[in-house]
Structure 1
Amino acid sequence: MPKQAKLTQGSTLKHVSIMSFTGALGLMAMFLVDLVDMLFLSMLDEREAVAAVGFASTIMFFTVSISIAVSIAATALVARAIGEGDYELAKRRATNVLGIGVIFSSMVVWFLWPKIPDLLMFLGANLRTLDLATSYLQILLLGMPAVMVGMIASGIMRALGDARRAMYATLVCSVINAVLDPILIFVFGLGVDGAAIASLLARFSMVAVSYYGVVTVHRMLGQFDLVESVKDLKPIAKIAVPAMLTNMSSPLANAIVMGYAAQFGDHAVAGIAIVGRIIPVVFGGLFALSGAVGPILAQNYGAGHFQRMHNAMTSAVVYALGYCILLCSTLYMSQHFLITIFNATDDTAHLIRFFATYGSFSFFFQSLLFIAIAVFNNLGRPLSSTLLNFGRATIGTWPLIVFFGWIMGAEGIILGQAIGSVIFGCVGFVMARRYLNKLEQKDALRKPEVTSTPLYSSTP
Structure 2
Amino acid sequence: MPHQAKLTQGSTLKHVVTMSFTSALGLMCMFLVDLVDMLFLSMLGEKEAVAAVGFAGTVMFFTISLSIAVSVAATALVAKAIGEGNVALAKRRAINVLAFGVLFSTAIVLILWPHIDELLSFIGATGRSLELASGYLRILILGMPAVMIGMIGSGIMRALGDARRAMYATLVGGIVNAILDPIFIFAFGMGVQGAALASLIARLSMVVVSYYGVVHIHKMLGKFVFFDFIKDIKPICKIALPAMLTSLSSPLANAIMMSHTATFGDDAVAAVAIIGRIIPVVFGGLFALSGAVGPILGQNYGARRFDRMHGAIYSAVIYAFVYCLILCFALYLMQDWLVCVFNATPRAADLIRFFATYVSFSFFFQSLLFIAIAVFNNLGKPFNSTLLNFGRATLGTWPLIFIFGFFMGAEGVLFGQAVGSVIFGCLGFYLARHYIADLEAKDAKSFSSDQSLGYEEIL
**By the TM > 0.5 criterion, same fold?**
yes
C-alpha distance in structure 2 between counterparts of 1:261 and 1:83, whole Å: 46
CA contact (8 A) 1:444 1:450 kept: no
**Equivalent position of 2:457 in the other structure:** none
Name the CA shift for 1:334/1:188 in 2 (closer, same or farther; >3 Å).
closer
Name the CA shift for 1:413/1:119 in 2 (closer, same or farther; >3 Å).
closer
CA positional deviation for 1:395? 1.5
**Equivalent position of 1:458 in the other structure:** none
**Equivalent position of 1:359 in the other structure:** 359
**Equivalent position of 2:394 in the other structure:** 394
| Range that drifts further, 101-110 or 209-218 | 101-110
Ranges in structure 1 where 5+ consecutive residues have no aligned partner: 453-460
CA positional deviation for 1:226? 1.8
Deviations 1:252-302 (A, max 9, x none): 323333444456666655654544343222211111111110111011101
**Equivalent position of 1:416 in the other structure:** 416
Give 1:192-211 correspondences, 5 Å limit: 192-211=192-211
**Equivalent position of 1:295 in the other structure:** 295
C-alpha distance in structure 2 between counterparts of 1:78 and 1:240, whole Å: 13
* SS of residue paired to 1:251: helix
Name the CA shift for 1:318/1:450 in 2 (closer, same or farther; >3 Å).
farther
TM-score (normalised: structure 1): 0.87
Deviations 1:401-434 (A, max 9, x none): 3444455555444443333222111110010011
CA contact (8 A) 1:74 1:155 kept: yes
Name the CA shift for 1:115/1:251 in 2 (closer, same or farther; >3 Å).
closer
Name the CA shift for 1:447/1:332 in 2 (closer, same or farther; >3 Å).
same
Deviations 1:42-98 (A, max 9, x none): 556777765665554444333322221111110111011111111111111001111
CA contact (8 A) 1:181 1:194 kept: yes
CA contact (8 A) 2:62 2:251 kept: no
CA contact (8 A) 2:68 2:151 kept: yes
CA contact (8 A) 2:3 2:87 kept: no
Give 1:11-30 correspondences, 5 Å limit: 11-30=11-30
| Range that drifts further, 171-180 or 126-135 | 126-135
C-alpha distance in structure 1 between counterparts of 2:169 and 2:429, whole Å: 31
Matched to 1:295, the amino acid is: P
CA positional deviation for 1:6? 1.1
CA contact (8 A) 1:445 1:451 kept: no
Residue 181 (structure 1) aligned with residue 181 (structure 2): yes
- The percent identity for this pair of structures is 71
Residue 98 (structure 1) aligned with residue 98 (structure 2): yes
Residue 440 (structure 1) aligned with residue 440 (structure 2): yes
Name the CA shift for 1:409/1:82 in 2 (closer, same or farther; >3 Å).
same
C-alpha distance in structure 2 between counterparts of 1:8 and 1:417, whole Å: 37
C-alpha distance in structure 1 between counterparts of 2:400 and 2:343, whole Å: 29
Name the CA shift for 1:290/1:261 in 2 (closer, same or farther; >3 Å).
same
C-alpha distance in structure 1 between counterparts of 2:295 and 2:337, whole Å: 38
C-alpha distance in structure 2 between counterparts of 1:374 and 1:303, whole Å: 17
C-alpha distance in structure 1 between counterparts of 2:115 and 2:356, whole Å: 42
CA positional deviation for 1:100? 1.8
C-alpha distance in structure 2 between counterparts of 1:343 and 1:186, whole Å: 17
Ranges in structure 2 where 5+ consecutive residues have no aligned partner: 453-459
Name the CA shift for 1:300/1:353 in 2 (closer, same or farther; >3 Å).
same
**Equivalent position of 1:69 in the other structure:** 69
* SS of residue paired to 2:355: helix
TM-score (normalised: structure 2): 0.87
CA contact (8 A) 1:184 1:191 kept: yes
CA positional deviation for 1:128? 7.6
Deviations 1:428-457 (A, max 9, x none): 0010011111111121122137877xxxxx
Deviations 1:339-390 (A, max 9, x none): 5555667765554444333322222211111100110111111111111111
Deviations 1:191-232 (A, max 9, x none): 544433322322221111111111111110111112211111
Give 1:154-233 correspondences, 5 Å limit: 154-233=154-233
Name the CA shift for 1:301/1:119 in 2 (closer, same or farther; >3 Å).
same
Matched to 2:71, the amino acid is: S
Name the CA shift for 1:406/1:55 in 2 (closer, same or farther; >3 Å).
closer
CA positional deviation for 1:129? 6.9
| Range that drifts further, 53-62 or 199-208 | 53-62
CA contact (8 A) 2:313 2:371 kept: yes
Name the CA shift for 1:60/1:87 in 2 (closer, same or farther; >3 Å).
same
* SS of residue paired to 1:447: helix
Matched to 2:363, the amino acid is: F
C-alpha distance in structure 2 between counterparts of 1:94 and 1:403, whole Å: 46
Name the CA shift for 1:5/1:37 in 2 (closer, same or farther; >3 Å).
same
* SS of residue paired to 1:202: helix
CA contact (8 A) 2:351 2:411 kept: yes
Name the CA shift for 1:273/1:308 in 2 (closer, same or farther; >3 Å).
same
C-alpha distance in structure 2 between counterparts of 1:259 and 1:138, whole Å: 21
CA positional deviation for 1:248? 1.9
| Range that drifts further, 309-318 or 344-353 | 344-353
CA contact (8 A) 1:72 1:155 kept: yes
Name the CA shift for 1:112/1:32 in 2 (closer, same or farther; >3 Å).
closer
